[in-house]
Protein backbone atom coordinates (compact mmCIF):
# COMPACT_ATOMS: atom_id res chain seq x y z
CA UNK A 1 0.00 0.00 0.00
CA UNK A 2 2.81 2.45 0.91
CA UNK A 3 4.51 1.69 -2.41
CA UNK A 4 1.30 2.50 -4.27
CA UNK A 5 0.97 5.85 -2.43
CA UNK A 6 4.56 6.73 -3.31
CA UNK A 7 3.88 6.04 -7.00
CA UNK A 8 0.65 8.07 -6.88
CA UNK A 9 2.48 10.99 -5.27
CA UNK A 10 5.23 10.85 -7.89
CA UNK A 11 2.63 10.68 -10.65
CA UNK A 12 0.86 13.80 -9.31
CA UNK A 13 4.16 15.65 -9.07
CA UNK A 14 5.00 14.85 -12.70
CA UNK A 15 1.54 15.99 -13.83
CA UNK A 16 1.96 19.37 -12.16
CA UNK A 17 5.50 19.89 -13.50
CA UNK A 18 4.81 19.09 -17.17
CA UNK A 19 2.52 22.08 -17.93
CA UNK A 20 4.94 24.48 -16.21
CA UNK A 21 7.86 23.14 -18.21
CA UNK A 22 5.88 23.39 -21.46
CA UNK A 23 4.92 26.98 -20.65
CA UNK A 24 8.54 27.88 -19.91
CA UNK A 25 9.68 26.39 -23.22
CA UNK A 26 6.96 28.25 -25.09
CA UNK A 27 7.95 31.58 -23.52
CA UNK A 28 11.64 30.99 -24.21
CA UNK A 29 10.99 30.31 -27.88
CA UNK A 30 8.80 33.38 -28.46
CA UNK A 31 10.94 36.36 -29.63
CA UNK A 32 8.10 38.82 -29.02
CA UNK A 33 7.99 37.81 -25.36
CA UNK A 34 11.79 38.07 -25.16
CA UNK A 35 11.61 41.66 -26.47
CA UNK A 36 8.83 42.45 -24.01
CA UNK A 37 10.94 41.03 -21.18
CA UNK A 38 13.96 43.07 -22.33
CA UNK A 39 11.86 46.22 -22.54
CA UNK A 40 10.35 45.60 -19.12
CA UNK A 41 13.84 45.38 -17.63
CA UNK A 42 14.77 48.76 -19.17
CA UNK A 43 15.37 51.66 -16.84
CA UNK A 44 14.94 55.26 -17.98
CA UNK A 45 17.68 57.51 -16.63
CA UNK A 46 18.11 61.26 -16.92
CA UNK A 47 21.77 62.22 -17.01
CA UNK A 48 23.81 65.40 -17.14
CA UNK A 49 25.84 65.19 -20.34
CA UNK A 50 29.53 66.07 -20.25
CA UNK A 51 31.38 66.07 -23.57
CA UNK A 52 35.16 66.14 -23.76
CA UNK A 53 35.30 67.40 -20.17
CA UNK A 54 32.75 70.21 -20.61
CA UNK A 55 29.18 70.13 -19.34
CA UNK A 56 26.59 70.84 -22.02
CA UNK A 57 24.27 72.24 -19.39
CA UNK A 58 21.67 69.77 -20.64
CA UNK A 59 20.02 66.67 -19.26
CA UNK A 60 19.56 63.77 -21.63
CA UNK A 61 17.06 60.92 -21.45
CA UNK A 62 18.64 57.50 -21.82
CA UNK A 63 17.61 53.89 -21.44
CA UNK A 64 19.75 51.58 -19.35
CA UNK A 65 19.46 48.01 -20.61
CA UNK A 66 21.73 45.24 -19.31
CA UNK A 67 24.46 47.71 -18.36
CA UNK A 68 24.45 49.55 -21.70
CA UNK A 69 22.97 52.94 -22.52
CA UNK A 70 20.60 53.60 -25.40
CA UNK A 71 18.88 56.77 -26.62
CA UNK A 72 16.47 57.91 -29.27
CA UNK A 73 18.31 59.30 -32.33
CA UNK A 74 16.47 62.64 -31.94
CA UNK A 75 17.62 62.91 -28.31
CA UNK A 76 21.24 62.42 -29.36
CA UNK A 77 20.81 65.01 -32.13
CA UNK A 78 19.29 67.49 -29.65
CA UNK A 79 22.33 66.97 -27.41
CA UNK A 80 24.64 67.89 -30.31
CA UNK A 81 25.75 64.49 -31.53
CA UNK A 82 25.88 63.49 -35.16
CA UNK A 83 23.81 60.34 -35.38
CA UNK A 84 24.85 57.95 -38.13
CA UNK A 85 22.25 56.60 -40.53
CA UNK A 86 21.15 53.58 -38.61
CA UNK A 87 19.40 50.89 -40.58
CA UNK A 88 18.60 48.73 -37.59
CA UNK A 89 17.54 50.35 -34.38
CA UNK A 90 17.10 48.42 -31.16
CA UNK A 91 13.61 47.74 -29.90
CA UNK A 92 11.79 50.93 -29.06
CA UNK A 93 13.59 52.92 -31.79
CA UNK A 94 16.75 53.25 -29.70
CA UNK A 95 20.37 53.36 -30.74
CA UNK A 96 23.12 51.97 -28.55
CA UNK A 97 25.68 54.58 -27.55
CA UNK A 98 28.36 51.97 -28.19
CA UNK A 99 27.24 51.79 -31.85
CA UNK A 100 28.17 55.41 -32.58
CA UNK A 101 31.59 55.72 -34.25
CA UNK A 102 34.13 57.97 -32.51
CA UNK A 103 32.00 58.03 -29.36
CA UNK A 104 33.27 56.63 -26.05
CA UNK A 105 31.22 56.98 -22.91
CA UNK A 106 31.11 56.20 -19.22
CA UNK A 107 28.10 56.30 -16.93
CA UNK A 108 28.76 57.90 -13.54
CA UNK A 109 25.94 56.34 -11.52
CA UNK A 110 26.71 58.21 -8.31
CA UNK A 111 26.57 61.67 -9.92
CA UNK A 112 24.02 60.74 -12.61
CA UNK A 113 26.32 61.93 -15.40
CA UNK A 114 27.18 60.67 -18.85
CA UNK A 115 30.82 61.40 -19.70
CA UNK A 116 31.48 61.33 -23.42
CA UNK A 117 34.77 61.52 -25.26
CA UNK A 118 33.86 62.31 -28.85
CA UNK A 119 35.87 63.06 -31.95
CA UNK A 120 34.90 66.18 -33.89
CA UNK A 121 33.30 64.14 -36.65
CA UNK A 122 30.73 62.73 -34.19
CA UNK A 123 29.61 66.20 -33.04
CA UNK A 124 27.20 68.53 -34.80
CA UNK A 125 28.73 71.86 -35.80
CA UNK A 126 27.67 74.81 -33.68
CA UNK A 127 26.53 77.95 -35.46
CA UNK A 128 27.73 81.12 -33.82
CA UNK A 129 25.89 84.35 -34.47
CA UNK A 130 26.56 87.87 -33.36
CA UNK A 131 23.63 89.86 -32.03
CA UNK A 132 23.82 93.34 -33.43
CA UNK A 133 21.79 95.77 -31.38
Q: Using CA atoms, how far apart are residues 12 and 6, in angstroms rounded to an integer? A: 10
Mean per-residue pLDDT, 88-102: 81
Structural domain for 13, as ranges = 2-38
Mean per-residue pLDDT, 36-55: 84
- 59 and 28 belong to one structural domain: no
User: pLDDT of 13-22, one tens digit each?
Assistant: 444 544 444 4
- 94 and 68 belong to one structural domain: yes
- 48 and 6 belong to one structural domain: no
How deeply is 32 buried, as exposed, middle or buried, from its count of CB atoms within 10 A (0-12, 13-18, 19+)? Answer: exposed
* 49 beta partners: 114
For residue 133, tell me if it sits in a domain.
no
For residue 102, tell me if it sits in a domain.
yes
Phi, psi of 56 (to 5 degrees): -80, -15
User: pLDDT of 65-82, one tens digit each?
Assistant: 999 999 999 999 999 998
- Overall domain count for the chain: 2
- 86 and 28 belong to one structural domain: no
Q: What is the pLDDT of residue 8?
A: 55
- Kind plus residue range of the DSSP H or E element containing 103: strand 103-108
Asked if 123 and 51 count as a contact pair (C-beta separation under 8 A), the reply is yes
Asked if 44 and 63 count as a contact pair (C-beta separation under 8 A), the reply is yes
Amino acid sequence: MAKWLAYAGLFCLVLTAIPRRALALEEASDPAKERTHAESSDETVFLEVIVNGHSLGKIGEFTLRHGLLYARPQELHDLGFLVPNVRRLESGGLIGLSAIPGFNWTFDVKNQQLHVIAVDSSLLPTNLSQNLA
